[in-house]
Chains A and B, each alone.
Chain A
Amino acid sequence: MTAIERRWPILVGLAVALIVFDPLLTGPVSPPLLVHHIEHSLILLLAGLLGIAYARSHPRRYGDPTALLGVILLASLSVLLMLPDIYSGVDAYPILHALLHLGFALTGYFGGYLAERYSPRAGTVWTMLVVMMGVITASGFGSPPPHL
């Protein structure tokens, strides 16, 4: 293993922490919906990568069907957390906002971990799908039609 291979999880972990606690630094502002959803998708992506890395670093027993259920539930949870009505309330309170970000990080981490535990590379597939769902919500969740 090269130094990079060993260290990247640390760097990614730092990046996740930075985005998660970003509201504490920037204070009670809510970015535009599109940007905000992309930001949340980024947390899912990076945390998902960490979960995958952790799963791969351990001797594995593949194919536990309960891991599959967890994977599906966490994917649905990630979309629920994207509902503006759920999260816009917390934007005014940086600590709550950071906690919500932590929720995204945990969802991404455990989703990536469980999927990778379920089967090799399934973590990658799961993470890509969840990011895709985040991006889809960015273009339509909670936006009224332009002419209304």
Chain B
Amino acid sequence: MALGNQGPVELYGAEMGVTPRWMVALSLCIGFGLIFFLGMVGGVMKAAQGDIVHLSAATFYALLTLHGAGMIATVVVLTAVAHWHFLRRLLNLRVEVLVFSVLAIVWGLLAAAAAILVGGFGPGWTFLYPLPFIGNTWPVWSTGLFFFGVLFVGIGFAIFCIDLLASIIREYGILNGLALDTIFPGLRRADGKVAPPTVIAATMVAIDGLLTAAAGTVLVIALLAHWAMPAFPVDPLWIKNLTYFFGHTIANLTIYLSAGVIYAVLPHYTGRPWHTNKIYAISWTTSLLFVPWAWPHHLYMDFVQAPWLQIFGEASTYIATIPAAVVTIFGALLLVYRSDMRWRIGSTFFMAGLLGWLVGGVAAMIDATIPFNDVLHNTLWVPAHFHTYLLGGVFLFVIGFASYFAGDDAPTPPWAKVFEWLFFIGMIGFLAMFYAGGIEGVPRREAVQPAPGPLLAMIGTVFAGVLLVGMTGLLIEIFRRGRRNGASRESDAT
């Protein structure tokens, strides 16, 4: 079982001259650069919907595709790197593998971006079959290039997950990686070592991530085959199921990667350790088992889909989401309650992100409930809820991590507080406009929206601008600190 008991395993030692700290810093810079650019793209889209700027329909849909695909791939990199930073010591991870996987993902992202920006590829980041093949506004090569890009993103993520899982097996074994030894005494190790919560989260992500990457590989190869040989038939329903298995799950896993970061980072701010217990083992094992089954909630409108899958998908959505979210949010509150929490940029963003996760999660489950979905399907409610937990959750965790990584010991200076406020006010207003549009039934993914869409989008653009200004200020402050502290911590990785 747990191979960790057998003592250290001999590893290849030769590093490529890249220090872990340098690699994490580089990935953060690339990631935040992309987020900044893609956030501007999002603002331009809102402005177009609000009739502030004019975009041709083809340009709008290309930008929509770029923003969606780019943001998802970027937060995958950012959350994976942040979690890796804490797992490296615990699991003896090697930086070369991180280099491979970040390179593959970024390379895939660039290929997809070229297909979109040069070729005008624009069927949306979910590239639903058969749209990529019948859209006449983009050339055939751009379709193929985009899928090659997606393939590389999947491969990069697979490399990350395989290495993670292999290391967990070496150090703990899969069952003890999930801390199941807290429930089954027979599994207990002689040295009494139990996996910390951040490793539990990593075990779940590594396994579900590999399933996702495997399904994604099959999907993309089928699409590439159809692209190269149009006579090669594919079943649209099968493709749609696989697409959401891949797309939904990989986006979802960024939240679980973030949870792993929270477990490792909050103790730093509260001065209290975050312990593993049975409840973590049970809830994370539950999430591990059910997260891969939540995807059918994207297919409620597909009448040909087997009814049992619809019901099972609905149930799985609840079972997958609730336990890990509840234990993490409660655990965090307990950790913070009556501690001398140091309120820095990092801790503020982590706590705010937990709120975003909670609100967005509730809004998501409303949408995943069939009678509500009948009304909310494909309205702005959908971008409303996922921006709440991606922008207002995952992204806040990533900013929090960057701030921690750059050195978060000094209190936040007043001018940075101003940017913090701008960021949060802009974000809340921006999200509120999405929710308002959803309640009014404004459809999502439309270059031109029916009323009151344009009015809400106009207000939303102003808030998006405020958000972006706040974000820029904060990122500059974090970058400045990172440069100042970087030299003195060159050899250290904590």
Residues of A within 8 A of B (CB): 60-65, 68-69, 71-72, 75-76, 79-80, 83-85, 115, 118-122, 125-126, 129-130, 132-133, 136-137, 139-145, 148
CA distance A138 to B87 in the complex (A): 37
The segment from B236-244, B358-366, B460-468 found at the interface with A is B236-244
Closest Cβ neighbor of A136 among chain B residues: B218
Contact between chains at A80 and B221 (CB < 8 Å): yes
Q: Whole-angstrom distance from the CB of B456 to the nearest CB of chain A? A: 38
- Given the complex, which residues of A lie within 8 Å of B155, measured CB to CB? 72, 76
Instruction: Return the CB mask of B200-233 against A: 1 if under 8 Å, else 0.
Output: 0000000000110011011001100100010111
The segment from B3-11, B39-47, B48-56, B469-477 found at the interface with A is B3-11
In terms of DSSP, what is the predominant structure of the interface of chain A?
helix
Contact between chains at B94 and A63 (CB < 8 Å): yes
Partner of A71, one of B162, B169, B242: B162
Judge whether B97 is part of the interface by a CB distance below 8 angstroms. Answer: yes
Closest Cβ neighbor of B225 among chain A residues: A83
Q: Whole-angstrom distance from the CB of A91 to the nearest CB of chain B? A: 16
- Given the complex, which residues of B lie within 8 Å of A125, measured CB to CB? 162, 165-166, 169, 210
Contact between chains at A68 and B235 (CB < 8 Å): no
Q: Whole-angstrom distance from the CB of A124 to the nearest CB of chain B? A: 9
Contact between chains at A72 and B235 (CB < 8 Å): no
Partner of A139, one of B100, B225, B238: B238
Taking A133-B215, A133-B218 as given, write out 16 further A-B residue pairs in contact, using a Cβ cutoff of 8 Å, ordered by the A residue number.
A61-B11, A62-B170, A69-B100, A71-B162, A75-B158, A75-B214, A85-B231, A119-B170, A121-B166, A121-B169, A125-B210, A136-B218, A140-B235, A140-B239, A142-B233, A145-B237
Contact between chains at A129 and B233 (CB < 8 Å): no
Closest Cβ neighbor of A65 among chain B residues: B96
- Given the complex, which residues of A lie within 8 Å of B94, measured CB to CB? 63, 65
Q: Whole-angstrom distance from the CB of B231 to the nearest CB of chain A? A: 8
Q: Whole-angstrom distance from the CB of A22 to the nearest CB of chain B? A: 24
- Given the complex, which residues of B lie within 8 Å of A115, measured CB to CB? 162
Partner of B169, one of A60, A72, A122, A145: A122
Judge whether B446 is part of the interface by a CB distance below 8 angstroms. Answer: no
Complex A-B: 10 CB contacts under 8 Å: A61-B12, A63-B94, A65-B96, A68-B162, A72-B155, A83-B232, A118-B162, A125-B162, A136-B242, A142-B233
